[in-house]
């Protein structure tokens, strides 16, 4: 039950003033600039852009600073800001086959054309704390080699050439947009992918892990993982042609999964897809696994009752802003609700006590 | 400005301006030293563009997430119209981009191109080459271990 209450204005104002002071921390320590956050905490910036569903590194850095490094709070700030922006339009679908890759690896083909390019990865580090970073160390320049001029072809394109993997139906159908219409079920793959890419990384990771542990296992190989920049093109109505309005960094993961074949289709591999803003490797692999698990019906697989196969369960619980809003609202004043429950419990106890007393006196009388 | 070629050229410079580093663009524009009279047809405004991807990189489109874009339109004293569509939320950058777009359709095109567009294109290419060179250095060279027995 909600009732209007007054009071607390002074306490709230003072709490916010203290919050600002705590956010700043010890004033003997230099203040963080947005450029420092953007450049040196770039993976946090990427996560806020992906789950805030707005690509703008400067704004994400500001949100992280304002949220004192609480990334879900930062994502909340970005989501709120996003709603104030007029929508200029939709881009043409980005062509990830034309990506300028910083990193590109395949777990399925050692000699993939374009090669195994590791890029700036944490893989193969020893995960030992580097105390040199605690001091202000100069960083030596990274080695260079002859750059690749051509675009790097997709691994799935080779498999497709052999017809050994399912083909993605080519279409220009207008996809549903969950920022415009509320999500309904079944949501369809387009809306599922939109929902997964902005979903909570921890949740998507947990769901993906559950499929690996046997809850609707789908035997995924990382056919390809690539990170790099792609141009974003948009039709400009007043010009009558499309221009590149931006360049964005993306992480793409294509999984190659098993499939038995059916009466209509010869045995062939199936695919899962992950595409995420920024350098977001764990998230994009997890997204591809969950995408694949959610495709069980379309691929004629059995519903094993696994959580990762349940579209409504996955999509309804993957949004950390919806989840946090509902979860955290229970800490806000519920005085009247609680008062009525308190009254009820007291009454029940009174009645129970009276009953016990009556029974006891009856026993004595007998 | 109605031939296919000129539309292609225009697309090229508008794209270059959209992705340009704001500080560098502003500096080059100031050094060019021309600030034409103009009036806004559409005042600079920041908004969102929904970026789309394709399922499995080649299939049907889906909505990936939004990005910030700032746009404006203006006309010069002689009536030439310029449009600016730039990445991010800078109104100043959109205004400079629109002025350059307009001037590129006038007699100032050649000088402006040399002073602003060429250096921007070079900077963009240099950045791209630098990252591609570092990526190339992380390419794995496999070798096969020779086994001891015959």
Judge: B48–A87 Cβ closer than 8 Å, yes or no: yes
Query: Is the per-residue pLDDT at A204 higher than 70?
Result: yes
Judge: B60–A55 Cβ closer than 8 Å, yes or no: no
> Could you tell me if residue A155 is inside a domain?
yes
Nearest CA in chain B to A147: B133
Residues in B closer than 8 angstroms to A247, CB to CB, are 19, 87
Question: Residues A213-241: pLDDT tens digits?
Answer: 999 998 999 999 999 999 999 999 999 99
Query: Is the per-residue pLDDT at A164 higher than 50?
Result: yes
> Could you tell me if residue A340 is inside a domain?
no
Query: Is the per-residue pLDDT at B119 higher than 90?
Result: yes
> Could you tell me if residue A105 is inside a domain?
yes
Do A296 and A156 have their domain in common? yes
Residues in B closer than 8 angstroms to A87, CB to CB, are 47-50, 66
Shortest distance, CA B106 to any CA of chain A (angstroms): 17
Question: Residues B78-109: pLDDT tens digits?
Answer: 999 999 999 999 999 999 999 999 999 999 99
Do A56 and A116 have their domain in common? no
Q: How far apart are CA A111 and CA A74, in angstroms?
A: 41
Query: Is the per-residue pLDDT at A4 higher than 70?
Result: no
Token pair 């002073």 is at which residue?
B115
Maximum alpha-carbon separation in chain A: 103
Angle at A295 (CA atoms; ends A293, A298), nearest 5 degrees: 150
**Arithmetic mean of pLDDT, A340-344:** 91
Do A281 and A192 have their domain in common? yes
Do A36 and A178 have their domain in common? no
Work out how many domains chain A is built from and give that number.
Answer: 2
Do A178 and A234 have their domain in common? yes
Task: Tell me the average pLDDT of chain B.
Answer: 94
> Could you tell me if residue A333 is inside a domain?
no
Q: How far apart are CA B90 and CA B92, in angstroms?
A: 5
> Could you tell me if residue A335 is inside a domain?
no
Of chain A, the percentage scoring pLDDT greater than 90 comes to 82
**Arithmetic mean of pLDDT, A8-23:** 95
Question: Residues A274-329: pLDDT tens digits?
Answer: 999 999 999 999 999 999 999 999 998 999 999 999 999 999 999 999 999 999 99
Do A76 and A158 have their domain in common? no
Q: How far apart are CA B79 and CA B98, in angstroms?
A: 13
Q: How far apart are CA A251 and CA A20, in angstroms?
A: 35
pLDDT confidence tier of residue B144, bands split at 50, 70 and 90 = confident
> Could you tell me if residue A212 is inside a domain?
yes
Residue window 57-116, chain B: list those with CB within 8 Å of chain A: 57-69, 71, 73, 83, 85-89
Do A19 and A107 have their domain in common? no
pLDDT of residue A334: 87
Do A216 and A246 have their domain in common? yes
Do A293 and A155 have their domain in common? yes
Q: b/e map of A107-123 (b: 16 or more CB within 10 Å)?
A: ebeeebebbbbbbebee
**Arithmetic mean of pLDDT, A145-172:** 91
pLDDT confidence tier of residue B7, bands split at 50, 70 and 90 = confident
Question: Residues A97-118: pLDDT tens digits?
Answer: 999 999 999 999 988 899 999 9
Judge: B129–A147 Cβ closer than 8 Å, yes or no: yes
- The C-alpha R_g of chain B, in whole angstroms, comes to 21
Task: Tell me the average pLDDT of chain A.
Answer: 94
pLDDT of residue B1: 44
pLDDT of residue A184: 94
Judge: B85–A243 Cβ closer than 8 Å, yes or no: yes
Per-residue 3-state assignment (H helix, E strand, C coil) for chain A: CCCCCCCCHHHHHHHHHHHHHHHHCCCCCCCCCHHHHHHHCHHHHHHHHHHHCEECHHHHHHHHHHCCCCHHHHHHHHHHHHCCCCEEEEEEECCHHHCEEEEEECCCCCCCCCCCECCCCCCCCCCCCCHHHHCCCCCCCCCCCCCCCCCCCCHHHHHHHCCCECCCCCCCCCCCCCCCCCCCCCCCHHHHHHHHHCCCHHHHHHHHHHHHCCCCCCCEEEEEEEEEEEEEEEEECCCCEEEEEEEEEEEEEEEEECCCCCCCCCCCEEEEEEEEECCCHHHHHHHHHHHHHHCCCCCCCCCCCCHHHCHHHHHHHCCHHHHHHHHHHHHCCCHHHHHHHHHHHHHHHHHHHHHHHHHHHHHHHC
Do A56 and A163 have their domain in common? no
> Could you tell me if residue A180 is inside a domain?
yes
> Could you tell me if residue A197 is inside a domain?
yes
Do A55 and A179 have their domain in common? no
Query: Is the per-residue pLDDT at A363 higher than 90?
Result: no
Judge: A49–B57 Cβ closer than 8 Å, yes or no: no
Query: Is the per-residue pLDDT at B143 higher than 90?
Result: no
Question: Residues A173-190: pLDDT tens digits?
Answer: 999 999 999 999 999 999
Do A217 and A291 have their domain in common? yes
Interchain CB contacts (distance < 8 Å): A and B: 235
Supply the range of the domain harboring residue A73: 11-23+31-82
pLDDT confidence tier of residue A33, bands split at 50, 70 and 90 = very high
């Amino acid at each position: 039950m909600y009732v209007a209450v007054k009071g607390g204005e002074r306490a709230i104002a003072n709490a916010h003033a203290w919050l600002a002071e705590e956010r700043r921390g010890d004033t003997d320590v230099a203040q963080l600039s947005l450029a420092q956050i953007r450049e040196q905490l770039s993976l946090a910036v990427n996560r806020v852009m992906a789950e805030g569903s707005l690509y703008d590194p400067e704004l994400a850095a500001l949100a992280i600073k304002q949220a004192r490094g609480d990334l879900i709070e930062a994502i909340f700030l970005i989501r709120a800001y996003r709603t104030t922006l007029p929508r200029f339009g939709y881009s043409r679908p980005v062509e990830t086959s034309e990506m300028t890759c910083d990193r590109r690896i395949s777990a399925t083909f050692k000699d993939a054309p374009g090669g195994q390019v590791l890029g700036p990865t944490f893989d193969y580090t020893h995960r030992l704390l580097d105390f040199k970073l605690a001091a202000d160390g100069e960083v030596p320049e990274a080695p260079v080699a002859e750059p690749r001029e051509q675009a790097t072809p997709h691994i799935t394109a080779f498999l497709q050439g052999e017809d050994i993997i399912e083909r993605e139906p080519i279409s220009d159908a207008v996809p549903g947009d969950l920022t415009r219409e509320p999500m309904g079920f079944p949501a369809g793959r387009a809306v599922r992918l939109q929902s997964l890419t902005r979903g909570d990384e921890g949740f998507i990771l947990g769901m993906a892990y559950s499929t690996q542990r046997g809850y609707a296992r789908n035997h995924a190989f990382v056919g390809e993982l690539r990170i790099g920049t792609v141009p974003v093109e948009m039709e400009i109505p007043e010009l009558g042609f499309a221009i590149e309005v931006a360049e964005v960094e993306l992480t793409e993961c294509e999984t190659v999964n098993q499939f038995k074949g059916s009466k209509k289709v010869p045995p062939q591999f199936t695919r899962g897809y992950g595409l995420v803003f920024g350098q977001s490797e764990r998230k994009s692999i997890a997204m591809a696994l969950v995408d694949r698990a959610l495709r069980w019906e379309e691929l004629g697989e059995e519903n094993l009752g696994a959580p990762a196969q349940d579209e409504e369960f996955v999509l309804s619980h993957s949004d950390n802003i919806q989840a946090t809003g509902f979860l955290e609202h229970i800490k806000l004043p519920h005085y009247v609700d609680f008062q009525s429950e308190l009254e009820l419990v007291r009454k029940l106890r009174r009645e129970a006590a009276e009953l016990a007393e009556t029974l006891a006196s009856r026993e004595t009388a007998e | 400005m109605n031939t296919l070629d000129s539309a292609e050229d225009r697309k090229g410079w508008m794209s270059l301006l959209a992705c340009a580093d704001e500080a560098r663009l502003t500096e080059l524009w100031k050094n060019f030293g021309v600030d034409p009279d103009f009036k806004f047809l559409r005042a600079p405004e920041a908004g969102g563009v929904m970026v789309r991807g394709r399922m499995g990189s080649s299939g049907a489109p889906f909505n990936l997430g939004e990005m910030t874009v700032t746009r404006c339109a203006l006309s010069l004293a002689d009536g030439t119209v310029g449009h600016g569509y730039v990445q991010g939320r800078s109104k100043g950058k959109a205004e400079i981009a629109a002025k350059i777009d307009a001037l590129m359709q006038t007699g100032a095109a050649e000088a402006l191109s040399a002073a602003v567009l060429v250096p921007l294109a070079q900077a963009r290419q240099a950045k791209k080459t630098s990252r591609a060179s570092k990526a190339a250095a992380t390419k794995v060279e496999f070798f096969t271990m020779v086994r001891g027995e015959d």
